Amino acid sequence: MSKQAIREAGVPFVGQTEFLGELAQAPRTVMMLLGHDAGGRWLRVALATTHLPLRAVPDAVNADNVLLAIERAAEACRLLDLPRARVAVCGLNPHAGERGGLGREELDVVAPAVATARTRGCDAHGPFAADTLFHLAWRGDYDAVVALYHDQGLGPLKLLAFDSG
Tell me the domains of the chain and their CATH numbers.
Answer: 1-30 (no CATH), 31-161 (3.40.718.10)
pTM: 0.89
d(CA 62, CA 40): 34
User: From residue 87, how far is each of 46, 108, 142 by CA, in Å?
Assistant: 10, 19, 6
Q: Which of 14-18, 41-45, 83-87, 155-159 has the weakest average pLDDT?
A: 14-18
Does residue 86 or residue 22 have the better pLDDT?
Answer: 86
State the average pLDDT for the chain: 91
d(CA 105, CA 127): 10
d(CA 155, CA 152): 6
The answer to whether the beta carbons of residues 112 and 151 sit under 8 Å apart is: no
pLDDT at site 14? 67
**Residue 120, helix vs strand vs coil:** coil
The DSSP letter of residue 87 is E
d(CA 65, CA 7): 27
Report how far Cα 79 is from the mean position of its chain's Cα atoms: 17
pLDDT at site 13? 64
Q: Which amino acid is at 18?
A: E
> Given CA atoms 23, 29, 30, 35 in this order, what sign does their dihedral have?
negative
The answer to whether the beta carbons of residues 165 and 34 sit under 8 Å apart is: yes
Q: What is the pLDDT of residues 110-163, one digit of tens each?
A: 999 999 999 999 999 999 999 999 999 999 999 999 999 999 999 999 999 988
